[in-house]
Structure 1
């Protein structure tokens, strides 16, 4: 009997073992370390207890750069817990940007390490003290933006150099509408320095908890990105002062910046790719003025991110990917929608980049927005003030229930841009549309001017479809737009506008009563 019991026990163990073999997960045939690169090594990727399985390598040819995207599935034991990728962007001047990301889809916190080889020992100029010296005040629209500036600037004995971005850890939030369209924002969890320099290696760590996305970036050149450490530091100081709009959280298809609280999905730490700040006009202007290599490279990268963003969205124009609850409540419009002022800024940057960077093909790209405005006029997304006198609605997109308002600054920006498009192409339809917008502004005339209260002599922000006015205007933006428009119209057969002069005088009078040196302020805002 005892012998039979032993035999039965052995049979049971064998059966259990057999079932374990049948139903246990297959061991992952991955690598504990992978080497990234084609002709030469870009980086090594590894992580404690992690394995990596290579995915298809994607390649993209842009007008100002070439991208190679290396992607890997990440496993902890036999569990698939996420993906890691490095986008190697080679700019047309030979400089490179490396964008890294680790998306953790598991439950536990994991750390992926990316090690970049260096051509020698690197001397790092840290920007920590610069970034922490500026107080980040509460803003009534976006709250507090805690993001600072890049980590620092590294130089090597052979003349090569590296510009190091921070690590940004975030959670992706989405909301899907009945139209099937989706609004997307990032909720920032942390900004931190991910780097350690060890001998001739630059080590970057991407740590993320479950459902978090960790990202970082760096720029490297075989030459000095700045002609001196002092000039690199001066740029970092300018970024620290202008921290709200400085471009620091860079990704292959856009830069993330703090967005208003009035967004869907709602979060007070929301960041998004703002269409009007995908360009980098400041860097382009500085490149044209100084010739510094960094500004050339960051401008080329801005051109590339603009192209990559549109390719990602598969659209002709650049559409805002997060919903403004203010726009949605007023007109029903939700993401992805078109914001005329943001697209105007982007299109003007492409015009300037075509000249400043010598990329002729950007000329045709820069008038896509002009064609859109013509189509908006043809489609009737306008507020009419008589024959051939109308303003284009500020927004257009899914869910629209009525024609949106037209703000004075948007209208002026559109007409100024259209005149530039006409100057470059000679296409009369751009001039005609610009003049229709001007005629509408002139038909409204002095009704733009507020007559009483603390804003007496200021101008209204917007006119609605029923021709009522509302909203407090920007302090300087609209005044600068009026000056730019007058200068542009003076070069045409129509000449300057008497109504524009009246609005300039009234707005200036209002600002002077607030103690502002109007002439100085306007001159500082108008590019030569």
Structure 2
């Protein structure tokens, strides 16, 4: 009798243990409400998903909610997943996934983006055309491709559209310096399409990572539609394929990632990073102002958030470059972080133009803010003195007394920023500082012109000239500066006319067609 009871007891204990073990191994799922008609379900096989952090902030008119979950298997942490929703002012939203595996761990997550009661789902692929991976002289081959495409979820009363990006598997690489600073990049392991439709018409996203890898993807969701016509959408797909260096295809909650030059530290041929020149959605802004399409508006909204968030996280008023350029390190022992004057100039203009186009109040006047920074660097001695004026160095690093070179296009960019600041504020200090830079260019006179009629790229701290000039970028800067000077008070600087004429003669001698912007300015 006792033996029978013992056997029954062991059996019951075994059942309970099995049930508990099944519960322990099964894991759990979490459900997040997204828009008015969609939600996201997150799970991980045999793994518990537990929220450990949630932040909400408003940036550049958008509302961002970031949730971080720890992934626990057999009582041990194996990784983290971050889900960020970025609600744009027009009601559309970005959705970012970022999965990170801990060292020597392997993890997988399943996300189901569920639209309420869809009747059917259509996909317009954005990757149908075979892509030719052109070899670039500075950064080699970029194997990343267009987003997956645009899904349309048709319900009885609504049409929900979603643009889905590819999934990017990377490892983070860092180079630490004695100063305590570091250079940060990502090494691309592979790109893939990790999304698929289920029978129930939900969009499934499966992410995998192991041993400190990062797996991430992105989506944009709209309940109003992205394009008014298929023609506009097809033109955008073509633009993405043909102008990879002018558009983005890899978005994250921290900003877009793009192929970096090989001259980076730490070194890898497959290095990607947050290039400040690519964080501005210039192409999208131009198309939005021209065509007023909602999709381009979404990209510009997102770019504003990325740029404002970037400098906030860096605790700076401007935008420092976060990875080291080896040629800059070799020439001037300058490592990340440092300020690139041209990047910050372009960002200032982009913010000013984008805030106006989107009718959002700008937190600070970005152009004047940057002009003040240039004056501050002048007072700190980051200049190359000439007989009657000076030139600003191209790069600034906090705490460093080393002076870099001054390139003609950067100088003209600084002059334009100062003149725009004078025109908008009436502050004579901006005008005075611009004249000091103009005198610096004028003091060096025709030495800027090479024997073949083209211009030198830069002047070094010892006033020697080196480097090949851009084909027409500097010419555009020269023409724009001349126009601004006329607008300010028709100040005459004959050296600008001489540099412009020499550059035009050089282009003509090489039978190089003028850039459309050059033609416009000459007219």
Identify whether the pair has TM-score above 0.5, normalized to the shorter chain: yes
Instruction: Report the CA distance shift for 1:357/1:319 in structure 2 as closer, same or farther (over 3 A).
Output: same
Q: Deviations over 1:43-87 (max 9, x none)?
A: 111122222111121111112201000110012332211110111
Structure 2 residue 455 is matched with structure 1 residue 459: yes
Structure 2 residue 449 is matched with structure 1 residue 449: yes
Instruction: Report the CA distance shift for 1:435/1:30 in structure 2 as closer, same or farther (over 3 A).
Output: farther
What is aligned with 2:80? 83
Gaps of 5+ in 1: 1-26
What is aligned with 1:42? 39
Deviation at 1:31, TM superposition (A): 4.9
| Contact 2:482–2:496 under 8 Å retained in 1 | yes
What is aligned with 2:196? 196
Instruction: Report the CA distance shift for 1:255/1:519 in structure 2 as closer, same or farther (over 3 A).
Output: closer
What is aligned with 2:435? 435
Structure 2 residue 463 is matched with structure 1 residue 472: no
Give the Cα separation in 2 of the matches to 1:116 and 1:446.
63
Instruction: Report the CA distance shift for 1:190/1:519 in structure 2 as closer, same or farther (over 3 A).
Output: closer
Matches within 5 A, 1:354-365: 354-365=355-366
3-state SS, counterpart of residue 54 of structure 1: strand
Gaps of 5+ in 2: 1-22
| Contact 2:88–2:298 under 8 Å retained in 1 | yes
Deviates further, 361-370 or 163-172: 361-370
CA RMSD of aligned residues (A): 2.1
Give the Cα separation in 2 of the matches to 1:426 and 1:231.
42
| Contact 2:98–2:216 under 8 Å retained in 1 | yes
What is aligned with 1:394? 394
Deviation at 1:170, TM superposition (A): 0.7
Deviation at 1:369, TM superposition (A): 1.5
| Contact 1:30–1:53 under 8 Å retained in 2 | no
Instruction: Report the CA distance shift for 1:141/1:519 in structure 2 as closer, same or farther (over 3 A).
Output: closer
Give the Cα separation in 1 of the matches to 2:106 and 2:507.
54
What is aligned with 1:423? 423
Q: Deviations over 1:332-386 (max 9, x none)?
A: 1111110000000100001101221112224524432211111011111001113
| Contact 1:350–1:362 under 8 Å retained in 2 | no
What is aligned with 2:320? 319
What is aligned with 1:123? 122
| Contact 1:283–1:299 under 8 Å retained in 2 | yes
Structure 2 residue 512 is matched with structure 1 residue 511: no
Give the Cα separation in 2 of the matches to 1:30 and 1:316.
48
What is aligned with 2:409? 409
| Contact 1:176–1:183 under 8 Å retained in 2 | yes
Give the count of matched residue pairs. Answer: 494
Matches within 5 A, 1:66-81: 66-81=63-78
| Contact 1:353–1:362 under 8 Å retained in 2 | no
| Contact 2:52–2:68 under 8 Å retained in 1 | yes
Give the Cα separation in 2 of the matches to 1:142 and 1:201.
38
Instruction: Report the CA distance shift for 1:527/1:261 in structure 2 as closer, same or farther (over 3 A).
Output: farther
| TM-score normalized with structure 2 length | 0.90
Give the Cα separation in 2 of the matches to 1:490 and 1:248.
41
Q: Deviations over 1:250-306 (max 9, x none)?
A: 112211111111111111111111112211122112111111011111101100110
Instruction: Report the CA distance shift for 1:373/1:162 in structure 2 as closer, same or farther (over 3 A).
Output: same
Give the Cα separation in 1 of the matches to 2:25 and 2:68.
16
What is aligned with 1:172? 172
Structure 2 residue 370 is matched with structure 1 residue 369: yes
Structure 2 residue 186 is matched with structure 1 residue 186: yes
3-state SS, counterpart of residue 249 of structure 1: coil
Q: Deviations over 1:180-218 (max 9, x none)?
A: 011100111111112112233111121212111011111
Instruction: Report the CA distance shift for 1:415/1:495 in structure 2 as closer, same or farther (over 3 A).
Output: same
2:149 aligned residue (143, 147, 152): 152
Structure 2 residue 253 is matched with structure 1 residue 252: yes
1:33 aligned residue (20, 29, 36): 29
| Contact 1:335–1:398 under 8 Å retained in 2 | no
Matches within 5 A, 1:192-271: 192-198=192-198, 199-271=200-272
Deviates further, 176-185 or 50-59: 50-59
Deviation at 1:90, TM superposition (A): 0.3
Instruction: Report the CA distance shift for 1:50/1:459 in structure 2 as closer, same or farther (over 3 A).
Output: same
Give the Cα separation in 1 of the matches to 2:404 and 2:26.
54
Instruction: Report the CA distance shift for 1:57/1:239 in structure 2 as closer, same or farther (over 3 A).
Output: same
Give the Cα separation in 2 of the matches to 1:395 and 1:366.
18
